[in-house]
Amino acid sequence: MESINVEFVQNLLASYKELQESYYALQNRMAAFEAMATAKFEAYEAELAEKDAVIASLKSEVADLTKKLERYREKDKTNSSNSHMPPSSDKTKSAHKNTHKNTSGRKPGAQKGHKGSGMSLPAHYDRQEITSLTPKPCQSCPIRFVCSGLACSRVSEVRHEVDVVVQVVVHKYEQLECICHRLDNAVLRGTFPEGIAATMQYGQETRALAIALLNEGAVSAQRTHDILSALAGMPVSVGSIIAWNLGLSDDLEGVHREIRDELLNADVAHGDETSMNVNGTNWWVHVACNKLLTYLTVHKRRGHEGICAADFFPLYRGICVTDCWKAYDMFKTLSGHGRCCAHILRELQKVIDTHPELVWAKYLQQTLLKMKAAKERAIAKGKSSLSRSTIYGYMADYDLWIRSGKYYTPLPSENPETGKKESKSYARRLVERLERYRDEVCLFLTKFVVPFDNNQAERDLRPVKTKMKVSGVMRTERGAKAYAIIRSFLSTAKKHGVNIMVALRLAFAGRAREAIWGVTY
């Protein structure tokens, strides 16, 4: 057996110990490295999570800003030609450059061959003044009168000047008393004309002019006082003007109800509403009308309550033409309900202006205009309806573009964070409404008695907006209702071809029905 080399063993043990120490040192370094790596990894994860949160927040903010930008773009491109906004709100004259109306290309004004309605001498005038104008050399000629009547004294040209002169006429009524010997010395007195009740009062012409300025001219009572004072020097008080207005409205209440009753028998009636400032509060003027009758009422509410308070549509059994205001949909007794296509054309124009990529709006707009043109051509030929095949073709086109609109204007997606759907776009809401009201929108095509638009109601309501712009406010509820009654009477009289001054004279004389139906009480 060989002897063990102690030195070798000792060296081997020393080497092993060194290796063991190196191993432990390496383990410690590895543990420290792992701890450092874990800390850095956690820090990186935290930083990454923070960046992910920032990115998500920025994406959400970008989405919100994109929606706001879209709304601002729509608002910027919204004007009177593609919305309900009035023309006065248009920022530039180029607002109508993309309008759906087809221009004729002709110059503005009367065209060649137009008969014209120029100035002519009035049928009735109080006096005529004739002035003969002699040449200046003849004015100082000593033999001027010798030439009179000869060929050299002839009228070469006649010109007329028509002027309006305000004359103040005072009618004095003296009540005479007579002692009749045949009737046992009874005292007999003359009778004052009807309507002459006070010692001093204004006549019918003055009252009619004041009411015309107040209701037709749309000026306030104070301005009416100023105008009458300036014209004729008559210090008509504001109180008197208001009293005449309220008194006339009381006298016209029966005629106002008769207008409503007559309108209830019409085949088609238009309905609409507009706001009115009554003593600082927003009220609503409701109208029911046709080509011959205008029925206006005033109420605090715009919707179903205000429409029912007018006491017309709950009783009406004919065809109603309105816009898409839902309050009119609650009356199920109507025999038909037409929608104003002029409103729809403007709404489609808004989609065209704000989203040119949605071509369905343009083609649907053209389809409605083609329907209108086809109806007008048929009426010009004396027809009372279109053939079924023609109607079917137009309705098929309408349905085609509605389907296209629903396909290319999808529903909004669901928000992954909240789980709620975003609000529908303007174009999506419009195409769904046009699908829902399809038969009512196209009713003008299937029934010729139904007009294409609701412009009649808007024309009858326009004086209300003019009154608000000029006068600003109705101070009392009674004054607002009086305005509605008198406007109903004046508008109806004008539709029957009666001059408003003639109508007001008849009204103050207690013969208002003559201005509308040509009959007396």
Q: With helix as H, strand as E and coil as C, how does 295-324 read? A: EEEEECCCCHHHHHHCCCCCCCCCEEEECC
pLDDT, tens digit, 9 for 90 and up, residues 344-356: 999 999 999 988 9
Q: Could you tell me if 371 and 99 are in contact, meaning their C-beta atoms sit under 8 angstroms apart? A: no
Residue 107: its pLDDT value, please?
73
Q: Could you tell me if 462 and 216 are in contact, meaning their C-beta atoms sit under 8 angstroms apart? A: no
Residue 125 amino acid letter: Y
d(CA 128, CA 322): 52
Residue 258: how many other CB atoms lie within 10 Å: 18
Q: Which 3 state secondary structure label does DSSP give 328?
A: helix
Backbone phi, psi, residue 278, to 5° = -115, 105
> Residue 276 forms beta bridges with which residues?
283
Residue 117: its pLDDT value, please?
63
Residue 492: its pLDDT value, please?
96
Q: Could you tell me if 165 and 479 are in contact, meaning their C-beta atoms sit under 8 angstroms apart? A: no
d(CA 266, CA 312): 12
pLDDT, tens digit, 9 for 90 and up, residues 274-292: 999 999 999 999 999 999 9
pLDDT, tens digit, 9 for 90 and up, residues 456-475: 999 999 999 999 998 888 99
- pLDDT band of residue 150 (cuts 50, 70, 90) is low
Q: pLDDT exceeding 90 applies to what percent of the chain?
A: 48
Sheet holding 319-322, edge to edge: 294-299, 281-289, 268-278, 319-322, 336-339
Over residues 420-439, the mean pLDDT reads: 90
Q: Could you tell me if 515 and 509 are in contact, meaning their C-beta atoms sit under 8 angstroms apart? A: no
Residue 205: its pLDDT value, please?
84
Residue 435: its pLDDT value, please?
96
Residue 521: its pLDDT value, please?
38
Beta 319-322 vs 336-339: how paired, if at all? parallel
Over residues 432-453, the mean pLDDT reads: 95
Residue 82: its pLDDT value, please?
75
Over residues 121-149, the mean pLDDT reads: 71
* pLDDT over threshold 60, residue 93: no
Residue 185: left if φ>0, alpha if ψ -120 to 50, beta else—which one? left
Of the candidates 203, 198, 193, the residue with the CA atom closest to the CA atom of residue 236: 203
d(CA 495, CA 516): 9
d(CA 227, CA 235): 10
> Could you please report the per-residue DSSP string of 338-398?
EE-HHHHHHHHHHHHHH-TT-HHHHHHHHHHHHHHHHHHHHHHTT-SS--HHHHHHHHHHH
* Better-scored residue on pLDDT, 479 or 156: 479
Q: Could you tell me if 456 and 434 are in contact, meaning their C-beta atoms sit under 8 angstroms apart? A: no
- Among the listed ranges 48-52, 260-264, 400-404, which one has the minimum average pLDDT value? 48-52
Residue 428: its pLDDT value, please?
93
* Better-scored residue on pLDDT, 68 or 253: 253
Q: Which two tokens stand for residue 129?
A: 């003044």
d(CA 10, CA 22): 18
Q: Could you tell me if 271 and 297 are in contact, meaning their C-beta atoms sit under 8 angstroms apart? A: no
Residue 370: its pLDDT value, please?
96
Q: pLDDT exceeding 70 applies to what percent of the chain?
A: 84
d(CA 443, CA 321): 10
* pLDDT over threshold 70, residue 104: no
d(CA 258, CA 125): 35
Residue 398 amino acid letter: Y
Q: Which two tokens stand for residue 320?
A: 């109603």
Of the candidates 219, 213, 274, the residue with the CA atom closest to the CA atom of residue 465: 274
Over residues 221-242, the mean pLDDT reads: 86
> Residue 297 forms beta bridges with which residues?
286
Over residues 176-198, the mean pLDDT reads: 74
* Better-scored residue on pLDDT, 228 or 312: 312
Buried b (16+ CB within 10 A) or exposed e, 471-493: beebbeebbbbbbbbbbbbbbbb
Q: Which 3 state secondary structure label does DSSP give 146?
A: coil
* pLDDT over threshold 80, residue 420: no
pLDDT, tens digit, 9 for 90 and up, residues 312-363: 999 999 999 999 999 999 998 899 999 999 999 999 999 999 889 999 999 9
Q: Could you tell me if 205 and 506 are in contact, meaning their C-beta atoms sit under 8 angstroms apart? A: no
Residue 7: its pLDDT value, please?
80
Q: At what angle do helices 359-380 and 388-408 cross, to 10 degrees?
A: 170
pTM here is 0.77
pLDDT, tens digit, 9 for 90 and up, residues 43-55: 898 899 999 889 9
Residue 408: its pLDDT value, please?
93
Residue 90: its pLDDT value, please?
67
* Better-scored residue on pLDDT, 417 or 503: 503
Residue 367: how many other CB atoms lie within 10 Å: 20
Of the candidates 271, 329, 270, the residue with the CA atom closest to the CA atom of residue 449: 270
Question: Please, what is the Cα angle at 183 between 182 and 184, to 5 degrees?
Answer: 95
* pLDDT over threshold 90, residue 395: yes
Of the candidates 483, 513, 158, 486, the residue with the CA atom closest to the CA atom of residue 298: 483
Q: Could you tell me if 277 and 468 are in contact, meaning their C-beta atoms sit under 8 angstroms apart? A: yes
Q: Which two tokens stand for residue 251?
A: 């006298």
Of the candidates 517, 462, 512, the residue with the CA atom closest to the CA atom of residue 495: 517
d(CA 321, CA 366): 21
Over residues 420-434, the mean pLDDT reads: 88
Residue with tokens 């071509």: 359
Over residues 31-52, the mean pLDDT reads: 89
Average pLDDT, the chain: 85
Number of H helices, E strands in the chain: 17, 7
